[in-house]
Amino acid sequence: MSEIVLGVTGSIAAYKAAELVRVFVKAGHEVSVVMTAGATKFVTPLTFQTLSRRPVTTGLFEPDVVWEPNHISLAQRANVLVVAPCTANVIAKLAVGIADDALTATALACRAPLVVAPAMNDAMFEHPATQANIATLRSRGATIVEPASGELACGTTGKGRLAAIEDIAKAVLEVLAKTGDTTQ
């Protein structure tokens, strides 16, 4: 059984990550969720705890139930780290190695493959800084699940919608298959 660590960031699309947890659990995977502070403004940790049947990490300095720091133990257990939805802010942090919250610290300590599913305003997604950060992540081997085009929460239309849950799940399962994890 594989361990999927799912990072959820502060995007309106955070509610869609709950369905991603359901898909992974139904496929027989263990899912541990790490939420940024912004993500908790859109969806509560209890939602993810209920669906994953596991504790949810929301901060770097939460009391650990074992002696090891949670972000390190999550990073060590992960067969894949998925960040969906992933904001421009977190993409930038991942690209330059900033580890100022539980998710980015977990990512920095994680040696498992990284799958990133961006979700943001189209202008933010198309900005040269965001595109450079995505290129950096790709150059390090990250799988980027391209956002969809359509109506965005801010009222504009363009590329920035979180990819379909099926597309994200497919990308994650393909990464797991490449690493030799055949649990499906």
The range of the structural domain enclosing residue 97 comes to: 3-178
> In the predicted model, what is the mean pLDDT of residues 19-32?
96
What is the predicted pLDDT for the residue at 155? Answer: 86
Task: Establish if 184 belongs to a structural domain.
Answer: no
50 contact partners, CB below 8 Å, separation of at least 6:
none
Residue 178 has pLDDT above 50, yes or no: yes
Task: Establish if 183 belongs to a structural domain.
Answer: no
Q: Which of 43, 58, 29, 16 is nearest to 168 (CA)?
A: 16
CATH of the domain at 8: 3.40.50.1950
Q: Which of 2, 155, 1, 184 is nearest to 82 (CA)?
A: 2
Residue 12 has pLDDT above 90, yes or no: yes
Q: What is the pTM of this model?
A: 0.92
The verdict on whether 86 is a catalytic residue reads no
Are 94 and 130 in contact by the 8 Å Cβ rule? The answer is no
Are 48 and 8 in contact by the 8 Å Cβ rule? The answer is yes
Task: Establish if 55 belongs to a structural domain.
Answer: yes
Give the total number of structural domains in the chain: 1
Task: Establish if 86 belongs to a structural domain.
Answer: yes
Token pair 């067969």 in the structure block, residue: 79
Please report which residue ranges of the chain form alpha helices under DSSP H: 14-26, 45-52, 70-77, 88-96, 102-109, 122-126, 128-139, 165-178
What is the predicted pLDDT for the residue at 184? Answer: 46
What is the predicted pLDDT for the residue at 11? Answer: 95
Mean pLDDT across the chain: 92
How would residue 108 be classed by pLDDT, with cut points 50, 70 and 90?
very high
Q: Which of 154, 159, 165, 167 is catalytic?
A: 154
> In the predicted model, what is the mean pLDDT of residues 66-89?
84
Query: pLDDT tens for residues 137-170?
Result: 999 999 999 999 988 888 888 899 999 999 999 9
